[in-house]
Amino acid sequence: MKHAAMTDDAIEKILDKEDKALDAGELAERIPERPDLSTVYRALKRLEMSGRVNSVTFFRAKKHYYSGKKNGHFLVCQDCHEIITFTRCPSSVLEKELKEAFSYMILSHKLLFRGLCPTCARARAKRERQKT
Ligand SMILES: [Zn+2]
Ligand SMILES: [Zn+2]
């Protein structure tokens, strides 16, 4: 049990400092004790349930994790799967509206925009031109 708490703390610390969302494999590599993946997954489940860590799913079923203290702001490319984390938050107006409309105390939010990065958008346009 003591060991489990250590893994939890290590993961939380890494994610609080990190700007990008990381998957379980990337997290395992960054923990000095090098826990196995199942230990990391168990820790992430505990951390997520208690709100210390947030998760987001970009593609298929793979989860990425980020700090429970932060809001999630992501821009992802559908074709090359590049993930950009942005910090400028556009949601304060919306939050105020939701607060008033539903009498909710908003604690956090997650914004995920899907699209095409400039390289992939160019490649797509080129393919379209070649088709015709
Ligand atoms: Zn791309
Ligand atoms: Zn925000």
Which tokens is 121 given? 């958008």
Distance 87 CA to ligand 2 centre (A): 7
Beta bridge partners of 65: 22, 55
Distance 114 CA to ligand 1 centre (A): 10
Ion ligand 1: residue ranges with CB closer than 5 A: 77, 79-80, 117, 120
Could you give the C-alpha distances from 87 to 84, 94, 105, in angstroms and in order?
10, 17, 22
Number of alpha carbons in the 13 Å side-chain half-sphere of residue 75: 10
Which tokens is 14 given? 């890494």
Ligand nearest to the CA of 78: 1
Distance 122 CA to ligand 2 centre (A): 29
Which pLDDT tens digit goes with each residue over 16-73? Answer: 999 999 999 999 999 998 999 999 999 999 999 999 999 999 988 889 999 999 999 9
3-class DSSP string for 105-121: CCCCCEEEEEECCHHHH
Residue 102 banded pLDDT, cuts 50, 70, 90:
very high
Backbone angles phi and psi of 75, in degrees to 5: -130, 120
**Could you give the domains of the chain?**
1-68 (1.10.10.10), 71-132 (3.30.1490.190)
Ligand nearest to the CA of 106: 2
